[in-house]
Amino acid sequence: MLQRSIFSRILPQFHSANPETAKSLLSRFPTALLHGHRAAAHRSTSSLPGVTERTLIAVKPDGVQRRLVGQIIQRFEQRGFKLVGLKMLQVSEDLLSQHYCQLRTKPFYPSLVHYMTSGPVVVMVWEGHKVIQSSRTMVGHTNPAEAQAGTVRGDFSVHVSRNVAHASDSLEGAQREIQLWFQGKELLNWEGCDQTILYEM
Ligand code: IDP
Ligand code: MG
């Protein structure tokens, strides 16, 4: 509409010089706009392989307590990933035991349950090309002492027992965890207007 109003303002001068061309340009303007809009909508990212990969990211209770939620979300947004699900909840031991089912026999498991149920967590589903691999890199090594500076754990934590964030570690793991934490209707499929800039269509 902005383009149309700019066009209408310059049109009168053009109209007096060349009335037929001006009339024809104006009549075609909405159609051209519509075609442009349709063409953009047609280039949906869902047709690109791997672009709709999804992963589960969680800000653990220490991250919430330390008011790190915004900074962690910002890292994923500025990287170019798309947020498709988000909620805050107090985790039940039952949900947690399913989430960490492979760790139940570990000596640290009881303290892990205590830590993860000590306060609310913020869980999210992020979408994008190779988001599982990229987000593992962004979150960093499990042990913050070994995590690179620039990663979430490398920047915001010091000990493995309080490492601020979770990221799914594989495609199967991500699918299992997303289903565990979210109902289908809680995840939104939306077209990001930046997708044609982030990806080659
Ligand atoms: P990950 O979170 O990097 O995928 P996992 O091995 O899956 O690492 O462990 C899950 C979580 O269990 C870790 O993020 C951390 O909170 C906790 N954890 C892992 N190893 C230890 C440990 O040696 N001591 C205490 N907590 C641990
Ligand atoms: Mg893990």
pLDDT in tens, 84-131: 999 999 999 999 999 999 999 999 999 999 999 999 999 999 999 999
Q: Given CA atoms 141, 147, 153, 157 in this order, what sign does their dihedral have?
A: positive
For residue 195, report the distance from its CA to the centre of ligand 1, in Å: 34
pLDDT for the residue 39: 40
* Residue range(s) occupied by CATH 3.30.70.141 in the chain: 53-186
For residue 49, report the distance from its CA to the centre of ligand 1, in Å: 31
Instruction: Yes or no: say if 101 and 113 are a contact pair by the CB < 8 Å rule.
Output: no
The verdict on the CB of residue 142 being under 6 Å from ligand 1 is yes
The mean of the pLDDT values for the chain is 85
141 Cα nearest atom in ligand 1: 3
Q: Cα-Cα-Cα-Cα dihedral of 172, 177, 178, 181, to 10°? A: 170
- Rounded percentage of the chain residues whose pLDDT exceeds 90: 73
pLDDT for the residue 109: 98
| Residue to substitute in 142, 153, 163, 177 for testing ligand 1 pocket (most ligand atoms within 8 angstroms of CB) | 142
In which band, very low, low, confident or very high, does the pLDDT at 21 lie, cut at 50, 70 and 90? low
The verdict on the CB of residue 143 being under 6 Å from ligand 1 is no
What is the CATH T-level fold of the domain 53-186, as seen in this structure?
Answer: Alpha-Beta Plaits (3.30.70)
E strands, 27-176, in order = 54-59, 82-89, 121-127, 165-167
- What is the C-alpha to C-alpha distance for residues 193 and 191, in angstroms, rounded to an integer? 6
pLDDT in tens, 162-189: 999 999 999 999 999 999 999 999 999 9
Task: Say whether pLDDT at 82 is over 70.
Answer: yes
102 Cα nearest atom in ligand 1: 7
| Closest residue CA from atom 1 of ligand 1 | 142
- What is the C-alpha to C-alpha distance for residues 119 and 132, in angstroms, rounded to an integer? 26
pLDDT for the residue 172: 98
The pTM for the full model equals 0.81
| Closest residue CA from atom 8 of ligand 1 | 142
Residues known to be catalytic: 166
Average confidence (pLDDT) over 70-76 = 98
